[in-house]
Amino acid sequence: MSAIAVQLPDDVTAAREGILAFAEQEIIPRHDANRTLFEDPRALYREDGRFSDALLALIREVRTASAAAGFYQMCVPESLGGGGLGHLAYYVAWEALFHRCGPQNWLMLYVLSHWAFGPSRMLTQVTPEAQERILAGLMNGTRSMCFGLSEPNAGSDAAMIRTRARRDGDGWRISGRKIWTSNAPVADYCVVFAVTDAQRAAARRGGISAFLVPVDAPGFSVQRVIKLFGHVGGDEAELALEDVYVEPWQVVGELDQGFGAALYGVSLGRIYNSARAVGYGRWALELALDYANTREAFGSSIGEFQGVSFPLAESATELHAAHLMGINAATLLDQGSQAIKELSMTKAYSVQVGYRAVDRAMQTHGAMGFTNELGLTEAWHALRIVNVADGTNEILNRTIAQRLLKGDVSL
């Protein structure tokens, strides 16, 4: 019996089943075949912390195979050459992939285009000339991009960015620094946010623009790869821009209104991370239930002890609620609403309960919970991080409270 009364549209369930079948055929066997590579961190990363050539080749294989099968770009609008599925399909497919593949089969991260790294609805905001230049490579999975908003002195309060774009003839020259930019060590293009009108930016009335910058543009450089806990390399980087010249075709969205583009991207990120948290949480819960049924202590299976089973029951309840919230928020986006409050509630709640579900699964496993072979620690790391990335829990609460105080009390 399904626990969910809400009927998903047929095209969404078909997309979910199709992408899961693709993962069964293309992802899990690739992990099995490349176990030696995946178990050796020195083979996964280069000296400077970037992904190794062997890993990049596998990522490209997955992206291009998925693009050829029509999954990679399935949530990109048809006007851009994609499959035209919406936010609900994006949520449902990501949740299913994380649930089925768990943290060990992580090449699944490249089966469906991540909004910041590959083609997405965001690209409707780039100029026709930019589409002409970059779309084909992004859609077929041979090229990727990144999203450079955060800076050393501007995180939650992104309006504090100091990167400047000065007018130079018909174009601009961009100078500044970016940090935490995911996929930047290997990306081909970066969407860079910069102040174009200092007065308006200081008054927080626009004045910030987004530009599409090829990473081989003179003056653009990756300063260092940032290594997050437990890894000898990484996918986040610190960037420097020194007088990088950009032309009008490179403006993303409207000039001086770059936050519009940023907000939409961040919404997609929140859907993705909510799905990731629920998917990993369900994967961890099922692992814990199996263990609770088989591990014995004091003359019975440990699942017989309420100290073990009640936390799992709480996780199931929380994940069920988070799943329904995710379906609801994604449906609101598909209906054309910005769903700012609902998406903030969904992301903040999902990442906390997903993280807690993984933590409880570790506790259920005792010492086994900390071994590399189970992968629980990887899921725990990943979900701890998304309590900060794409809007911290505190900033999401701030957004929810602001909406409530302005009278948006619909729940």
The reply on whether position 43 binds ligand FAD by CB under 6 A is: no
The reply on whether position 215 binds ligand FAD by CB under 6 A is: no
The reply on whether position 394 binds ligand FAD by CB under 6 A is: yes
The reply on whether position 223 binds ligand FAD by CB under 6 A is: no
Site track 345-384 with ligand FAD (rule: CB under 6 A), x = hit: ----------------------------------------
Query: Residues 112, 75: contact at Cβ < 8 Å?
Result: yes
Segment interacting with ligand FAD (CB under 6 A) among 53-61, 74-82, 344-352, 388-396 = 388-396
Segment interacting with ligand FAD (CB under 6 A) among 199-207, 317-325, 334-342, 394-402 = 394-402
Q: Least distance from C-beta 52 to ligand FAD, angstroms? A: 20
156 vs 335, which CB is nearer to ligand FAD? 156
Site track 108-127 with ligand FAD (rule: CB under 6 A), x = hit: --------x-----------
The reply on whether position 155 binds ligand FAD by CB under 6 A is: yes
Instruction: Single out the residue of 180, 220, 259, 272 in contact with ligand FAD (rule: CB under 6 A).
Output: 180
The reply on whether position 217 binds ligand FAD by CB under 6 A is: no
Q: Least distance from C-beta 390 to ligand FAD, angstroms? A: 6
Instruction: Single out the residue of 28, 43, 59, 388 in contact with ligand FAD (rule: CB under 6 A).
Output: 388
Q: Least distance from C-beta 384 to ligand FAD, angstroms? A: 10
99 vs 114, which CB is nearer to ligand FAD? 114
Q: Which residues bind ligand FAD (CB under 6 A)?
A: 116, 146-150, 155-156, 180-182, 236, 385, 388-389, 392, 394-395, 398
